[in-house]
Structure 1
Amino acid sequence: TLQENFDLHPLIIQNIFADNTRTKTEKYDKDLYVLTDFARFDEDLELNFNKVSLILRDNLLITILNDDEDIFNKVRIKLEKMVEFKLESSISLMFILMDELVDNYFELLDDVGEKLDDLEDELIEDANEKVLHQVYVMKKNMLYLRKSIQPLRSVVNKIYITADGKIDTSAQYFFREVYNHIIQMLDLVEVYRDTIIGLIDTYTTIIGNKTNDVMMILTVWSTIFLPLSFLTGVFGMNFKYMPELENPVAYPLFWIIVVVIIIGMLIYFKRKDWI
């Protein structure tokens, strides 16, 4: 087992197999333990997170993935091709692997940016509940990404401080690279969060405008029928003496008046741009 082969601290073993553990770094005796996440989208654009453990001990680096996918394969291929490149220490390798994890988040954020552009186009063409649901899914994803990326900044700082005596020139370079990428990612997350809020506001505005259009149409027709209701109410009164009712042209005259009122009001509303 891990504990028997490498004499790992029991708390490290516990953190490796524990659920719902946040990104962190801890110093246990001779080991520096880092726990972080590897994320990716599923078919429904929901984020799935898998834990990644890094254990640094002198000139040894142990990586433990809670997933079948070899997420560090790109790093391995890159290092194999760079024959002239020599790592000065295991902590340099740790920063390279962490940079690969950070770059994975960059790829996710690129996908988020493209999806938000598509959602914006769909929203303008047809604002419906399906589009709104996808926007809220992306909003939830941004929350999860922020919760996963935010602790990385303090983790990288803590690694740098804890391993201060082992930091060589190469490791300092990789440290700055990882730290700068994390800052850029946090900025991107904030930009996309603002974009999502803007999309929700746009949806609310579009739906509000549609509701106003419907209410305007209903109001126009209600206004048109208001004088007509008055006329039918007057001539529908059950009085004995109503001379207009005895007139042979009263009925066609009534319909002429009704048509004139309707046409006149429609022309008026059209000039006011209410219809």
Structure 2
Amino acid sequence: MSKKNRARRNKQKTGLSPGTVVYTGHKSEQKLFIEAFNYSPTHVKEEEIPSVDGVFSYKSDSKDHVTWININGLNHTDVIERIGTHFNIHPLILEDIANTSQRPKVDEFEDYLSLNMKMLYYDVEKGLITEQISLILGHNYVLSFQEAEGDVFNELRERIRHGKGRIRTLGSDYLFYALIDNIVDHYFVVVETLGDKIEDLEDDLFNGSTQEFISTQIQDLKREILRIRRSIFPLRDIINRIEKSEHRLIDSKNLPFFQDLYDHTIQVNENTEVYREMVWGLMDMYMTGLSNKMNEVMKVLTIISTIFIPLTFIAGIYGMNFDNMPELHYQYSYPILLIIMLVMFVLMIFYFKRKKWL
């Protein structure tokens, strides 16, 4: 993201009162998409909701049903405000939902839990995608707010549709956990993909490759690992806080799942730190490779210079002071000499390029 775009995002909220919902991302043309899953152990209803009014019918105090409402399109701030009003969500939480630069955090209220975090995945064309996602855990419902379409929840949707595992037999707190768990699982995929890229680049450096594009790749990896670390590092404390919060919406029988999730966040953080150290070491390897290659070049040129030093010394003493030099009397000696010098120059340039000295 350019400095101009970052500055524009920061200025969007300047001077506004706390709780003002302002979208600070760059996907302002994203269409609104709302889907809902309402399920119990015996049935499931999946629906695409055409307008925000269809969301309001799902708020229910029934203990037998759990509802997951997924909203794509944080640029539709009016929709976020209407949903927040209906579910009694604090304005400061709504402000954080639309703020795509919000640091991952959790907020506890009497009737709900709010979690802001980043969803990471690799796109074949766009590379690393970092997307804002916010989760609201309430009584028998979970709201998820995504910046744009495309997420990591397809497997979870299949489990709900077909009743696989325990997803439809446990409450909304387990759904809340399952959504976070899916995001964390893809953190592992992202970190492993990053690790493969680092190891491939490391192999290139070990094989003596010092092309200019490698330095650019190293800088790109540095930026990627910093983006990943900013998204992942705070999550460990967040999950630990949820696990120890004793909030009434978190059933004690589901606490072991959050404990396991906490272990996963520790593991993914440790992996991230390992790869971070590897990335910072790649530039040292690159500079060391350049230095070694320069030393090899200087060694060859020094040998060549040493060979010609005595020859130049002798030529310097005697010069061209010989009577028997038939070339001096040829009509085209001078242009022939210039041509020979030019050919020698071209051949040397070609040789240096072939040896990758230039």
Normalising by the residue count of structure 2, what TM-score does the alignment of the two structures yield? 0.61
2:197 to 105, 109, 115: 115
Determine if the alignment matches structure 1 residue 71 to structure 2 residue 139.
no
CA distance in 2, matches of 1:70, 1:195: 29
Q: CA deviation at 1:43?
A: 4.5
Equivalent residue pairs, number: 242
CA distance in 2, matches of 1:42, 1:223: 56
Normalising by the residue count of structure 1, what TM-score does the alignment of the two structures yield? 0.78
Determine if the alignment matches structure 1 residue 100 to structure 2 residue 179.
no
Determine if the alignment matches structure 1 residue 91 to structure 2 residue 91.
no
Structure 1 runs of 4+ with >6 Å offset? none
Q: CA deviation at 1:40?
A: 2.2
Q: CA deviation at 1:226?
A: 1.6
Q: CA deviation at 1:211?
A: 0.5
CA distance in 1, matches of 2:126, 2:203: 18
Q: 1:4 to 1:62 in 2, by over 3 A?
A: same
> Corresponding residue for 1:215?
298
Moved more, 12-21 or 116-125: 116-125
> Corresponding residue for 1:52?
133
CA distance in 1, matches of 2:165, 2:267: 30
CA distance in 1, matches of 2:250, 2:311: 89
> Corresponding residue for 1:173?
256
Correspondence 1:187-202 to 2 at 5 A? 187-202=270-285
> Corresponding residue for 1:273?
none
Give the fraction of aligned pairs with identical amino acids, expressed as a percent.
Answer: 34
Q: CA deviation at 1:225?
A: 1.8
Runs of at least 5 residues in structure 1 that lack an aligned partner in the other structure? 239-244, 249-275
Q: 1:44 to 1:139 in 2, by over 3 A?
A: farther
Question: Over residues 59-97 of structure 1, what are the superposed CA-to-partner deviations in whole Å (9 max), with x where a residue is unaligned?
Answer: 322111111124322112124434562543322221111
Q: Report if aligned partners of 1:31, 1:55 keep a CA contact under 8 Å in 2.
A: yes
Q: Report if aligned partners of 1:135, 1:199 keep a CA contact under 8 Å in 2.
A: yes
Moved more, 195-204 or 13-22: 195-204
Question: Over residues 252-275 of structure 1, what are the superposed CA-to-partner deviations in whole Å (9 max), with x where a residue is unaligned?
Answer: xxxxxxxxxxxxxxxxxxxxxxxx
CA distance in 1, matches of 2:121, 2:157: 20
Higher normalized contact order (CA 8 Å, seq sep 6+, divided by chain length): 1
Q: Report if aligned partners of 1:52, 1:66 keep a CA contact under 8 Å in 2.
A: yes
| Greater helix share, structure number | 1
1:224 to 296, 299, 307: 307
Runs of at least 5 residues in structure 2 that lack an aligned partner in the other structure? 1-81, 325-358
Q: 1:128 to 1:237 in 2, by over 3 A?
A: closer
> Corresponding residue for 2:267?
184
User: CA RMSD of the aligned region, Å?
Assistant: 2.5
Q: 1:167 to 1:18 in 2, by over 3 A?
A: closer
Q: Report if aligned partners of 2:159, 2:165 keep a CA contact under 8 Å in 1.
A: no
Moved more, 83-92 or 111-120: 83-92
2:234 to 126, 142, 151: 151
Question: Over residues 165-214 of structure 1, what are the superposed CA-to-partner deviations in whole Å (9 max), with x where a residue is unaligned?
Answer: 44434421210121111111011111212222333222222211110111
Greater gyration radius: 1
> Corresponding residue for 2:54?
none
SS at 2:234 equivalent: helix
Question: Over residues 127-179 of structure 1, what are the superposed CA-to-partner deviations in whole Å (9 max), with x where a residue is unaligned?
Answer: 21212212221221111111110110111122223344444344212101211
Q: Report if aligned partners of 2:208, 2:289 keep a CA contact under 8 Å in 1.
A: no
> Corresponding residue for 1:264?
none
